[in-house]
Structure 1
């Protein structure tokens, strides 16, 4: 079944004003930091982000390969980066995974999982960043967000 699944225990489904729904862990709070939507845990230990944009040249794989190429400029201490072609709910997608040193007040090195795919004339990008020690929990939150993600309407982009 390529469609979204229901939120598991410990998660709640949110219908975001930006035109999508997904399950986020209980207690996470929403912040709109244009052009991205974030759902943060207390203290921003876990940072789940979503961005919706017009189709990108070369599609999701080219977009994330370019992000990987410029990773060292964007993420201090960028390392262990890799981009893999995949599918998300039947749509061509790319997965980007990396570790970096974390920003000021970020609690040290962080690990990021990022999935991008094209659907309905838009590019969707969903990622999570968490302290390296919380990588397994972050992956569970990331996988749950992706498994439950649903486009509700064609959003405005920006």
Structure 2
């Protein structure tokens, strides 16, 4: 079991890129069997320009040895709307009450509030049932594609869509 102090949440840095991509692809393809390449999600190959340069954010959870244990991104779509993306936590750090998932998500929410974002949407593969439960506990509600407030590209793998309106 890992302790809260063994994880640090840091803004994305380019020297973490290879680890970030490896973690995301491992969870998507080895664990979830989604079958998606890095080329099908070009945002992970260009985090700086896809997230940070557009007024969004991307955060990384590092374990006690400085290895990437989790990721979360907020891709800004317009002045008040953003897409939560690339929310992944390494298997050995999942399900802990003060683990990286809760802390990454809290970092994203604090940033969104400070940046004037009012609505966060996300897509997640239908097979990711554990993620669906997390999002619903966090106040997201399932929506239809027609109800998305912004249009954005995502690799549709039987995806479910969720929306959170911030206070």
Same topology, TM > 0.5: no
Q: Which one has the bigger strand percentage?
A: 1
With structure 1 as the length reference, what TM-score do the two structures score? Answer: 0.30
TM-score by length of 2: 0.29
